[in-house]
Amino acid sequence: MYVVIAGGGKVGANVTRSLLEMGHEVTLIEQRPDRFARLEGEFGPVVIRGDATEISVLERAGIARPPELLLAVTGDDEDNLVISQIGKEGYGVGKAIARVNDPRNQEHFDLLGITQTICATTSVLGLVEHEVPEHGMVRLLELQREGLEVVEVQIESGSPAAGSRAGGLSLPGGSRLISVFRHGRTELVEPGTVMRPGDQVLAVVTHDSAPELRRVLLGAPK
């Protein structure tokens, strides 16, 4: 696979190293002279120097081939957005993944059609949420484009769903219970599955229905 990586900071440099070890062909673009010198020392001709938001630099990196994957991982969100747009819209790059440094900019990436993004802050917050669940429901995975999230809910003894059959719960539209984890085993949820205290229930739900699903399973937030 051919991969173009824009931005040779910690993320770009480490991804380059890993992809090269996996046997992929990589071109890494870095603008800052000090960083470029260090990266060139390690990776040799894989690294080119320049502003990756300049079309001529991207062309020098082989954007017109086009690469199977373009990673825009500079420390500047606007740069990452522009790099991804040029790659996808100008050169037909099939897959572009952009780094979002400030999570408040996520909506701009979504609006401008750069749907595959990675945001360290959001990921860390997700982990924190998993450790300290707010309102008993943990978001395990967010599927932006589909508008869905995969959530985990722990049934407590006082939960309204405790003792009910799955088929008897009035779940909101756009939600479905997938599985129950109990006594170290996972069972797929059938209409006859009874919810018990201690059960960890995996569900898929639309963004809008998530609060209602929480209410049906666990009751109103305290």
Partner 1 sequence: MAKGLAADGWDVTAVDESEDALGRLGPDWRGGFVVGHGLDMTMLERAGVSDADAAVVSTDGDNTNLVIGQVLQKRYGIGTVVVRVLDPARARFYAERGLKTVCPTQTAISVLRDAVNATQLEPSEA
Name the residues that contact partner 1, by CB under 8 A: 53-56, 76-79, 81-82, 86, 89-90, 104-105, 107-108, 111-112
> Could you give the residue ranges of the DSSP H alpha helices within 70-203?
77-85, 91, 106-111, 120-131
Beta carbon of residue 117, minimum distance to partner 1 (angstroms, whole number): 14
Place of tokens 């990756």: 52
Question: Cα(22)–Cα(163) distance, rounded to whole angstroms?
Answer: 50
Q: Which is nearer to partner 1, 107 or 187 (CB)?
A: 107
Q: Which is nearer to partner 1, 42 or 102 (CB)?
A: 102
- Counting Cα atoms < 13 Å in the Cβ hemisphere of 195 gives 26
Phi, psi of 185 (to 5 degrees): -130, 150
Q: Which is nearer to partner 1, 89 or 208 (CB)?
A: 89
Q: Which is nearer to partner 1, 36 or 109 (CB)?
A: 109
Tell me 44's DSSP state.
Answer: G
Beta carbon of residue 10, minimum distance to partner 1 (angstroms, whole number): 21
Q: Which is nearer to partner 1, 106 or 154 (CB)?
A: 106
Beta carbon of residue 53, minimum distance to partner 1 (angstroms, whole number): 5
Beta carbon of residue 27, minimum distance to partner 1 (angstroms, whole number): 19
**Which two three-digit tokens encode residue 140?**
């395990």
Question: Cα(84)–Cα(146) distance, rounded to whole angstroms?
Answer: 21
Beta carbon of residue 147, minimum distance to partner 1 (angstroms, whole number): 18
